[in-house]
Amino acid sequence: MEEAKDLANIIKSGKLTAPANMVQESVVGPSLGEESIRTGLISFIVAFVLVFAYMIFFYNMAGIAACCALLVNIFFLFGVLASIGAVLTLPGIAGIVLTMAMAVDANVIIYERVKEELLAGKSIGAAIKDGYKVAYSAIIDGNVTTLLTGIVLAYFGSGPVQGFAVTLCIGILTSLFSSIFVSRLVFEAMLSSKKGQKKITFYNKLTEHFLENPKVNFVGGHKVQSIIAIALVVVAIGSLAFKGLDFGIDFSGGRTYVVRFDQDVNPVEVRSKLQDEFGTAPEVKTFGPAYQVKITTDYKVKEDSDAVKREVITKLHNGTKTFFKDENITIEQFESTMKSPLGIISSEIVGPTMAEDIQRSAVIAISVSLILIFAYIGLRFKRWQYGLAGLVSLSFDALITIGIFSLFSGLLPFNLEVNQDFIAAILTVIGYSINDTVIVFDRVRENVKLYPKAEYGKVMNDAMNQTLSRTFNTLGSTLLVLLIVFIFGGEVLRGFAFALFVGVAVGAFASLCVACPVAYALITRSEKKKLLAKETKR
C-alpha cells in the first residue's frame, strides 16, 4: 500500500516525462469474490478428504503416514504463504490443491519401492530404509523439473498466474520435505517397538498384488503406439489449422464484463441486442449458470479515458436492461460492481500493448521451460537422447492439449478460452508430466547398472512395467483432485482444470508411448553406430 501511495504521489507531481497509460484493469465485485472463495475452499476440502481416503485404501497403515505428511505439508505451505504476505488468488488455491496431488506422488514412489523390497524378502525395517534410499533420485528429479517450470511461470507470469506459480513452487519444496522427512519420522516411531512394527502395512488384500508383474510389451508395441500418436497429432494440427483457438482478451486485447441477471437469458439474443448498440457484435457466452454471461468487445479498446469507459458501460446497460425482470434498472444499479449482486459483477480491460506483451511472454515461458527440462534431463542422465525424448514427449503433450481445446471449443458447456490461465495450465502440465518420464528413465538407469549385459529393449520394457503401478496410482490421485477442482472450483477455474486434466492424462500416455519409444530408438541407433564404427576400425 505504501509503495502504491508513493507511486501515485510521483504521478500526481507531474515529474514523469512519459505519459502513464492504462494497459490492464481488473475489477471483481464482492459477490463473485465470495463465490470464488467458497468454491475454491469446497474444492480444496473435498480433494483433501478424497486424497486421504485414496491413500489409506491403497496403502493401508502406510497411507495414514502419508496423510500425516500431507497435513504437515499444508501447515508449512500456509505458514510460508502467510509469512511472505502472499495474496491467495483462486488460481493460487488451485495451485495448493494440485500440490496435494504432487505431494502424494512422492509417497507413492517410496511405497512402491518399499513393496518391491518386501517382495524380495527383506524385513520391514530394511525394506523401508532401502525403499526410501532408492526412491530419492526419482523424487528429486521429478520435482526439480516441475520446480523449473514453476520458476519460469513465476518470472514471466503476472497477476493470478504468478500467484499460482508461487504457491506451486512453495508447495513443491514443502511437499519434498514432508514426504521424505515427516513420513519417515512416522515409520521410525513405529519401528521403535515390536507392536508398531506389526502394524506397518503397505497394502491390503485388494491392493497387495495390484500390477505386481504386468508383463506388458511396451517396446514391442511401439509401432502401434506411434500410429496412435501420429493420428492424434494430425487431428490436433488439423483442428488448429481449420478451426483455430478461442483467444481471450489476454491475447487479443479488449474489454470483458461478467453480467448477472435476475433470470435466465439467451446469449444469442443478448448478442443481437448489443450489436445494435456497439455497431459490431460482441462475443457473448454463458458464464456458469444460465443467468450469467460474459461479454467481450474490442470497442475503443485503444482509448482508456473515463469518458470511453462510461460510454461502454452505457451501451452495455442499454443493450441488456430489457433482459432483467425489472427493465427499469438504472445505470447506477447496473454498474455498481461493489454493491449489487446484479449487473456487472466483474470487469477486465486489456490494452493491445499488454496483449502483445502477454503473447510474447507466453511463447518465451513455454520455450524456456522446454529448453531447461531438455538440458536438465540430458545432464542428469548423461545422455542427450533422454533429454530429446523428454522434449518430444512434452511437445506432444502440449500440442494435443492445445488441439483438444481447439477441437471442443464451442461444443462444451463451459468456456475454453486461451488466456493466461491456460498458459499456466500448459506449463504446469509440462512440469508435471515429465515426472512420469523421469521415473521410468530413472529405473532404466538403475537397471542398466544392475544388468549391464542385458538387451536395452528388455531393460526399458522391464522399467516401464516396474513403474506401472506407481504411474497408475499417481495418475489416479492427480486426476481425482483435478476432477474435484473441475466440478467444485467454479466457472472461473473450469477451463483451467479441464486443461490440466487433459494434459495430465495425455502426459501419462506420452511418457509410456512417446518418450520411451523415442529414447529407445535414439539410443539403440546410437549403439549400432558405435558398434559399426568399431567393426570398421578392425
User: What CA–CA distance (Å, rounded) separates 385 from 449?
Assistant: 18
| Contact assessment for residue 296 and residue 283, using Cβ atoms and an 8 Å cutoff | yes
pLDDT at 239: 92
Q: Name the pTM for this structure.
A: 0.78
User: What CA–CA distance (Å, rounded) separates 373 from 377?
Assistant: 6
Tally the C-alpha atoms within 13 A of residue 108's C-alpha that lie toward its C-beta. Answer: 28
Lookup: cell for 99: 500440490
Other C-beta atoms lying within 10 Å of the C-beta of residue 456:
16
Q: DSSP 3-state assignment of 431?
A: helix
**Torsion sign over Cα 527, 533, 536, 537:** negative
- Strand 292-297: give its sheet, edge to edge: 24-28, 343-350, 254-260, 292-297, 283-286
**Torsion sign over Cα 416, 418, 424, 427:** positive
Question: What are residue 418's DSSP bridge partners?
Answer: 247
pLDDT at 245: 82
User: What CA–CA distance (Å, rounded) separates 47 from 98?
Assistant: 9
Q: DSSP 3-state assignment of 296?
A: strand
532, burial (CB in 10 Å: exposed 0-12, middle 13-18, buried 19+): exposed
| Contact assessment for residue 48 and residue 100, using Cβ atoms and an 8 Å cutoff | yes
pLDDT at 487: 84
pLDDT at 132: 87
Phi, psi at 216, each rounded to 5°: -85, 130
Q: DSSP 3-state assignment of 444?
A: helix
- How many angstroms separate the first and last alpha carbons of the chain? 76
Domains of the chain, first to last: 26-242+356-534 (no CATH), 254-350 (3.30.70.3400)
User: What CA–CA distance (Å, rounded) separates 187 from 107?
Assistant: 12
User: What CA–CA distance (Å, rounded) separates 69 from 108?
Assistant: 12
User: What CA–CA distance (Å, rounded) separates 290 from 246?
Assistant: 21
User: What CA–CA distance (Å, rounded) separates 281 from 259?
Assistant: 16
Q: Mapped to the 3 state alphabet, what secondary structure does 207-271 carry?
A: CCCCCCCCCCCCCCCHHHHHHHHHHHHHHHHHHHHHCCCCECHHHHCEEEEEEECCCCCCHHHHH
Q: What is the largest CA-CA distance in the chain?
A: 95
User: What CA–CA distance (Å, rounded) separates 203 from 353?
Assistant: 56
User: What CA–CA distance (Å, rounded) separates 148 from 145?
Assistant: 5
H helix runs in 325-467, sequence order: 331-335, 352-380, 384-408, 420-450, 456-466
| Contact assessment for residue 104 and residue 474, using Cβ atoms and an 8 Å cutoff | yes
Instruction: Write out the H or E segment, with its range, that includes residue 536.
Output: helix 516-537
Other C-beta atoms lying within 10 Å of the C-beta of residue 209:
11
pLDDT at 497: 83
120, burial (CB in 10 Å: exposed 0-12, middle 13-18, buried 19+): exposed
pLDDT at 31: 53
Which residue from 97, 90, 96 is spatially nearest to 161, judged by alpha carbons? 90
pLDDT (tens, 9 = 90+) of the chain, 538 residues, equals: 888 888 887 777 665 566 666 656 666 655 555 666 677 678 778 888 888 888 888 888 888 888 888 888 888 888 888 888 776 666 676 677 667 777 778 888 888 888 888 888 888 888 888 888 888 887 888 788 878 878 887 787 666 667 777 887 888 888 888 888 888 888 888 888 877 777 788 887 887 777 777 888 887 777 888 889 999 999 999 999 998 888 776 676 778 888 888 888 888 888 888 888 887 778 887 777 788 888 888 777 777 677 878 888 888 888 888 888 877 787 777 776 555 677 877 777 776 555 566 667 777 877 888 888 888 888 888 888 888 888 888 889 989 999 998 898 878 777 787 777 787 778 778 777 777 788 888 888 888 888 888 888 888 888 888 888 888 888 888 888 888 888 887 776 788 788 888 988 998 888 888 888 888 888 888 877 777 777 776 6
pLDDT at 337: 54
User: What CA–CA distance (Å, rounded) separates 58 from 358?
Assistant: 43
